[in-house]
Structures are given as C-alpha cells and as structure tokens.
C-alpha cells in the first residue's frame, strides 16, 4: 500500500512539474512595454438624479410651449396692427388733409356730447354720432365717403338682412326728399304766379308800373332766357349723344363690311376644289 501511494505521489509530482514547465514560457515577462489597457467607466445615476432630470425636462418643455404661444399671440397682434394701418391708409383720401378737418370733427362731436348732457337718454345717444357724421361729411367729404363705403361693404358681408333694410330706408328717404323738393319748388312757383297775378291785377286797376319798379320784368325775361338756354343745352347734349351712337353704328357697319370683303377675297383666292 505504501509503495502504491509513493508511486502515485511521484506520478502526480512529475505531472505537476511537466505542467509547470509547459506554463512557464507564457508567464514569462516580455522585454517590450505592454500597451495601456482601456478602462471603461459606466456612469450609474442615482434615483435623485433621475427625478431631477425628469423635472428639468418637463419644466423646459413647458417653458418652450409657453414661449411659442406668446410668440404666436405677438405675431397675430402685429398682423392685426398692420391690417388696421393698411385699412386706415386706404380710407384716408390722399388729396384731403386731415390736420384741420379731424380737429373740427372732434370738436363737433364733443360739442354734441356737452349739449346733450342734461337731455334725455335718446338725445344723449343720438346727438354726438349725428354731429360726428355731419361734421365728417362737411369737413372731410372724401374720407367720409370712403368710411361709409367700407361700413356698407361690411354690412353687406356680415349683415345682409340689415343691409337690405338699410337700402330700402335710404331709397324711401331719397324719394321723400325728392318729393319735398318738388313740392317746395311747386309751392314757390305757385306763390310767384299768385303774386305776379296780384301785381298785374293791381297794375290794371291803378295804372302803376309795379313790375318795372320792382324789376320783375327783367327777372322774368332772365328766367325765360335761362330756361331757353337749358333747353338748348339739353337738345345739344341729346344730339351729341345721338351723333355718337350713330357714329358708333357706322363704324360697326364699316367693320362688318370690311370683314365680309376680306372673307370674300380670301374665298376667291382659294383654289377650286376638285370633285373626285
């Protein structure tokens, strides 16, 4: 038994020595310097750092969103200002100064508010805008016309029913004003005729020349002469219009005749078609 154990120990020692001999060349140090090995560091943030990063990201996103919204509002406001400026420039007449007229309009409007201060509520509501419109039409007629046209276009676009009623009211007002003018003119004419008849009858009764004294005969002659001139001007205007229409029709007929002549010449110049 002892011999077997001794033999086994000797065999194991021999194997260990052989392994040591085979491994010694690998563990032997080199005479050349070895290159530096790369060291990889892995950063592992803590839970607090993760939460702080999330909060920072959310705050940054909220700030950028709010800034974008503010920039959008500012851009829209700038576009509104530019559109209002362009509209005002288009409404103001270039050949009509604003400096004295707009001051007069403002003074008239303030005067209306002062005068209607102790009046009833309808008067206080109606008098200042009425004086504003009247003074604007008087001192700035072209600008007032542009403003009224723009308001009318807005009314036609957004309130067509109100615009239709407004047009009907303006038509009725114009008809009423025309009737009043006709009635006043007819009344003045009847009054003048009645006064003239009374003067003529008084002249016939007394023998006095009241018409010559008052200068009515000259006035009547001048009126008749003015009416004759107006009638002659109307006749000349109508004759001119008729002459223009006739000249236009003659030119159209000449053009049609020339076109027909050209077509006839073109057909005559074409070679005759052969019958197959």
Determine the pLDDT at residue 81.
93
CA distance 196 to 214: 11
Which of the listed ranges 179-188, 236-245, 251-260 does the model predict with the highest average pLDDT? 179-188
Under the banding of pLDDT at 50, 70 and 90, the label for residue 216 is low
**Please, which pLDDT band fits residue 251 given cuts at 50, 70 and 90?**
low
H helices of the chain, in order, are 2-23, 47-91, 99-115, 121-139, 141-158, 160-206, 210-214, 216-269
Whether 156 and 167 have beta carbons less than 8 Å apart is answered as no
Domain boundaries, the chain: 64-159, 160-208, 215-249
Nearest 5°: the CA angle 241, 245, 251 is 145
Give 14 or 129, the one with higher predicted confidence.
129
**Cα separation, 188 vs 123, whole angstroms:** 34
Which DSSP letter does residue 36 get? P
Compute how many other C-beta atoms are within 10 angstroms of the C-beta atom of residue 126.
14
In this prediction, residue 47 carries a pLDDT of 86
Residue with tokens 């200002």: 81
Residue-level pLDDT at 111: 92
Q: For residues 141-180, b (16+ Cβ closer than 10 Å) or e, as one string?
A: eebbebbeeeeeeebeeeeeeebeeeeeeeeeeeeeeeee
Whole-structure pTM value: 0.46
**248 against 39, higher pLDDT:** 39
Q: CB of 102 within 8 A of CB of 55?
A: no
The span from the CA of 163 to the CA of 152, in Å, is 7
Nearest to 148 by CA among 163, 165, 160: 163
Residue of 43 and 148 predicted with greater confidence: 148
Residues 216, 221, 225: CA angle, nearest 5 degrees: 145
Q: pLDDT tens-digit profile of 27-69?
A: 567 777 777 778 777 778 788 888 998 999 999 999 999 999 9
Q: Which residues contact 142 (CB under 8 A, 6 or more apart)?
A: 93, 95, 96
Residue 183 corresponds to which tokens in the numbers above? Answer: 């009635």
């Amino acid at each position: 038994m002892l011999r077997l154990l001794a033999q086994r120990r000797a065999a194991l020692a021999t194997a260990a020595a052989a392994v040591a001999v085979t491994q010694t060349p690998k563990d032997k140090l080199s005479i050349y310097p070895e290159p530096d090995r790369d060291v990889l560091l892995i950063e592992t943030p803590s839970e607090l750092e993760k939460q702080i990063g999330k909060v920072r990201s959310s705050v940054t996103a909220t700030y950028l969103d709010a800034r974008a919204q503010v920039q959008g509002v500012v851009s829209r406001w700038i576009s509104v200002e530019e559109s209002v400026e362009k509209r005002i420039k288009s409404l103001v007449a270039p050949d009509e100064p604003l400096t004295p007229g707009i001051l007069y309009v403002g003074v008239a409007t303030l005067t209306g508010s002062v005068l209607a201060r102790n009046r009833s509520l309808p008067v206080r509501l109606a008098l200042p805008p009425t004086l504003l419109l009247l003074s604007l039409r008087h001192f700035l007629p072209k600008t007032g016309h542009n403003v009224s046209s723009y308001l009318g276009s807005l009314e036609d676009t957004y309130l067509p029913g109100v615009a239709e009623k407004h047009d009907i009211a303006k038509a009725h007002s114009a008809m009423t004003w025309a009737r009043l003018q006709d009635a006043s003119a007819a009344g003045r004419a009847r009054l003048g005729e009645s006064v003239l008849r009374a003067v003529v009858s008084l002249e016939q009764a007394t023998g006095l020349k009241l018409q010559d004294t008052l200068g009515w005969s000259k006035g009547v002659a001048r009126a008749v002469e003015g009416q004759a001139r107006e009638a002659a001007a109307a006749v000349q205007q109508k004759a001119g219009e008729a002459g223009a229409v006739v000249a236009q029709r003659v030119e159209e007929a000449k053009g049609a005749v020339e076109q027909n002549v050209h077509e006839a010449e073109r057909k005559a110049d074409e070679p005759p078609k052969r019958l197959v």
